[in-house]
Amino acid sequence: MPPGLSTRAIHHGESFAKETGTVMPPIFPSATFRHGNQEGFDYTRSGNPNFRLLESVLSSLENSEFSTVFASGVSAITAIISSLKAGDLVLCEDNLYGCTVRLFEKVFRNFGLRISWVDFTNQNNFNLIKEQTPSIIWLESPTNPLLKILDIKAICEVANSCNVPVVVDNTFATPFVQRPLDLGATLSLTSTTKYINGHSDALGGVVCTNDPEWNQRMIFAQKGLGLHPSPFDCWLITRGVKTLPLRLERQIKNATAIADQLALHPLVNWVRYPFRQDHPQHDIALKQMECGGAIITASIKASQSKTFLMCKNLKYFTMAESLGGVESLVCHPATMTHASVDESTKQRLGINESLVRFSVGCEDLVDLSADLNNALELVQ
Ligand SMILES: *Cc1c(COP(=O)(O)O)cnc(C)c1O
C-alpha cells in the first residue's frame, strides 16, 4: 500500500546532502552551479535543490507526475496564462480570486487574450465549452470568497471531450481536501502562501500536471519569465507542508463548529460552508471533497461600517488579507481581496458590504467561539 498523505507530507526522501545524515534539508542559496554537475543544476532561475525538494513533495500530495514552483500564486497564474497567445479565449468561472480577475482583465486582455466569464454552477453553461471552444478553462472550487462549489469532474469530462485543458485553482481546498488532477483537470494550481506553508511567513505558488507538454511550458515560464521563488522560501514551505494534514484537521474541526455557531446567530443573514447541508452545492461538495475546508463566508445583518466594526472587534481573528495560516483571519472581500473587481460585477456576484470571510485557525475553539459572540454583540 502506498504511504498516506501525512506520511508523504513529512518524508520527501532526497536531501541533496546524504553524506551528512541531515534530517532536515539544507538551504541552497547559490545563484549558480558548476557546469556538468551530477544533478543537472545550472542557474537558480531555472532550478535549485530547494525548488526540487518542494516540487517532489507537492507532486506526491497532488498525485501529479510533474510540478513547478513559482514566487507566488500570482506568478503561477502568470506562468499558465502567458503560455497562451493573442486571440486565444479563456473561459473563466465568474467568481475567481480578485487578483486573478485583475491580471486577466487589466494585463493579458491588453495583449489580445479574450476572456469570458460564466457561472459554472449552472450546468446549462457547460454547453459553452463546445460552442466557444476556448483555449483553456479557468476554475476555482471552492471559489474565493463565495465558496461556490463547481462540479470539477463533470466540467472536465465535457472539456476533455473537446481537448480543452482545465485549470483548477486548488488554493482553498489543498490536496488534503481535493485533488483536481484525479478529477480530470489538466493543471492544478495552488498559492502555497496559504495552507501549504501555513505560517504566513513566505510566498509561493505551484502548478502540478501529468501532461509533459504543459510541464515543459511551466519549466520555460519559471526561467524564461523570471517567475522562480527563492530557495529560502521553498525551504520554509517544505518545512510548513509537513504539518498540513495536522493543521487542517484542527482547522476543519474548528470551522465546522464555527459555521454552525454563526448560522444560529440572529445577526447573521446566512453562512456558506461546503459541508453544511444548506450549502447550495452541498451534494457536489460531498462528492469531490474529503472535508469542508476551513474557510467560512457569512453575510452579516449590518451596514459596511458596522460589519467593519465587527471585524475590528475580533481579538483572535486578525482583520487581514490572506488565509490558511495557523492564526485565524477575517477579511472584508468587497474592500480588500476583491477591491480591484469593478462595482457592478461585485454586486452581481454578491460580494457586498455585509460579506465577511473567515479563515479559521488552530486556536482553541472555545476562545474563537467566545471572540465571535463578543464581536457580534458589540455591533447589535
Ligand atoms: C492568494 C490566492 C492566490 C494568489 O496567491 P499569492 O501567493 O498571494 O500570489 C491565488 N488564488 C487564490 C484562490 C488565492 O487565495
Residue 292: give its domain's CATH number.
3.90.1150.10
Are 215 and 261 within one domain? no
Structural domain of 67: 5-241
pLDDT at 69: 98
Residues 160-176 as b or e (16 or more Cβ within 10 Å = b): eeeebbbbbbbbbbbbb
Last residue of a domain, one of 241, 257, 278: 241
* Residue 73 CB–ligand 1 contact under 6 Å: yes
- 106 given a catalytic annotation: no
If you average pLDDT over residues 55-70, what whole number do you get?
98
**Sign of the alpha-carbon dihedral angle for 267, 269, 274, 279:** positive
Q: Which residues pair with 121 in a beta bridge?
A: none
* Residue 169 CB–ligand 1 contact under 6 Å: yes
pLDDT at position 340 over 90: no
Ligand 1: residue whose CA is nearest its atom 6: 73
pLDDT at 345: 87
Ligand 1 center from residue 205 Cα (angstroms): 8
Last residue of a domain, one of 212, 241, 270: 241
Are 131 and 174 within one domain? yes
Are 70 and 129 within one domain? yes
Are 142 and 210 within one domain? yes
pLDDT at 15: 82
CATH of the domain at 123: 3.40.640.10
- 278 given a catalytic annotation: no
Are 26 and 66 within one domain? yes
70: three-class secondary structure by DSSP = strand
DSSP 151-215: -HHHHHHHHHHTT--EEEE-TTTHHHH--GGGGT-SEEEEETTTTTT-SSS---EEEEES-HHHH
Are 258 and 193 within one domain? no
pLDDT tens for 123-178 read: 999 999 999 999 999 999 999 999 999 999 999 999 999 999 999 999 999 999 99
pLDDT at 203: 98
Last residue of a domain, one of 225, 241, 257: 241
pLDDT tens for 205-239 read: 999 999 999 999 999 999 999 999 999 999 999 99
Domain count, the chain: 2
- 97 given a catalytic annotation: yes
